[in-house]
Amino acid sequence: MANPPKAKPKISIHSPQTEPERERVYSFRYRTQIDRNGGSSIYADHDSKMIKDELDDSAFHLFLMANGSIVAAVRVNSASTSPFSKQDVARFQFEKFAEYGRNALSMTSRLVMVGSPQQSQMAAVLLGAAYKIVRNNGSRFDFAACPPSMVGMYEVLGYRRFGPNFEDEDGVYNVPLCLVTEDEQYLRDTRSPFGRLAGEFLNTADTSQWFDRAFPEFAGSFGDHTMDEDKFWEHLTEKLQQTPLERIPLLKGLEYADAR
């Protein structure tokens, strides 16, 4: 007799309103990063088994529950109300965005998920809720950082690389990213799930045009997932300033068609 199909887990999004509720998130971080994944953090309190840092008290927290257990969590901070460190201000080049004011800047961070970070559907649901929060709060640029292995997931959502990589306080190598929240056209062009959400808000192309002028080396860049073979070859040729066949040692000796 065939086994009955497994019931889909009931998923719901929550925002903790009290300190005990937020402590559930801090404990979830510890269980996932330290106990499950064997990681470390200078912010880990091994007595209370929590991970909490200086941005948590001023953050808006979100967590995803499945069948009664937390399976993912993230937080959102506004630059106008949160005590960002000098290191963060420098890493994310806040001074370049000064003309828009601190209210226009936010950061989505501390994304923690049970299992592989490639569970993009879980991340998309949670970060979609975070996107709505930053838009409702007037953010025009939302910052994030992640290890290189997760950059593709963020690019699918519409985040763009825009500065030099850095090592954070825990020694994790990170790529800084920026989401131009009002750029509905870019979000739709990159097939971001945020494209539909952006349609619920008033959008302008001004911030996107400014971003391209402020960071010309990243202007017009799309995640690799949006490109067919021809566009990707053209993209590589432009970035390398010569054809990949000539520049990439692995491709030397191949016929043109094989290299493509």
> Does residue 106 belong to any structural domain of this protein?
yes
- At residue 204, the pLDDT reads 92
> Does residue 66 belong to any structural domain of this protein?
yes
Query: What's the average model confidence in pLDDT over 149-173?
Result: 94
* Weakest-pLDDT range from 37-41, 63-67, 134-138, 227-231: 227-231
Residue 202 CA, distance from chain mean position: 22
User: Do 70 and 122 share a domain, yes or no?
Assistant: yes
Q: Does residue 151 have a pLDDT over 80? A: yes
> Does residue 5 belong to any structural domain of this protein?
no
The C-alpha torsion from 222 through 223 and 227 to 231, rounded to 10°, is 50
User: Do 204 and 124 share a domain, yes or no?
Assistant: yes
Residue 117 CA, distance from chain mean position: 11
Residue 25: CB atoms within 10 A of its CB come to 26
How far apart are alpha carbons 202 and 182 in whole angstroms?
A: 8
Residue 258: CB atoms within 10 A of its CB come to 9
User: Do 213 and 248 share a domain, yes or no?
Assistant: no
How far apart are alpha carbons 112 and 107 in whole angstroms?
A: 15
> Does residue 2 belong to any structural domain of this protein?
no
> Does residue 1 belong to any structural domain of this protein?
no
User: Do 49 and 145 share a domain, yes or no?
Assistant: yes
The C-alpha torsion from 140 through 146 and 148 to 154, rounded to 10°, is -40
Q: What share of the chain is helix, strand, coil (3-state, %, to 5)?
A: 40, 20, 40
DSSP character at residue 216: G
> Does residue 4 belong to any structural domain of this protein?
no
How far apart are alpha carbons 260 and 251 in whole angstroms?
A: 9
Contact 161, 177 (CB under 8 A): yes
Tally the domains of the chain. 2
Find the CATH number of the domain harbouring 165.
Answer: 3.40.630.30
What are the pLDDT digits (tens) for 58-105? 999 999 998 889 999 999 999 999 999 999 999 999 999 999 999 999
Show the tokens assigned to 67.
């069948």
Residue 211 CA, distance from chain mean position: 17
User: Do 253 and 198 share a domain, yes or no?
Assistant: no
User: Do 111 and 127 share a domain, yes or no?
Assistant: yes
User: Do 166 and 55 share a domain, yes or no?
Assistant: yes
User: Do 236 and 109 share a domain, yes or no?
Assistant: no
Per-residue pLDDT band for 117 (boundaries 50, 70, 90) equals: very low
> Does residue 138 belong to any structural domain of this protein?
yes
User: Do 135 and 235 share a domain, yes or no?
Assistant: no
User: Do 239 and 170 share a domain, yes or no?
Assistant: no
User: Do 122 and 246 share a domain, yes or no?
Assistant: no
The C-alpha R_g of the chain, in whole angstroms, comes to 20
Q: Which residues are paired to 166 by β-bridges?
A: 174
What are the pLDDT digits (tens) for 243-253? 767 766 666 67
User: Do 260 and 138 share a domain, yes or no?
Assistant: no
Domain assignment of residue 260, given as a range? 227-260
Residue type, 207: T
- Residue with more model confidence, 199 or 11: 199
Show the tokens assigned to 158.
């519409």
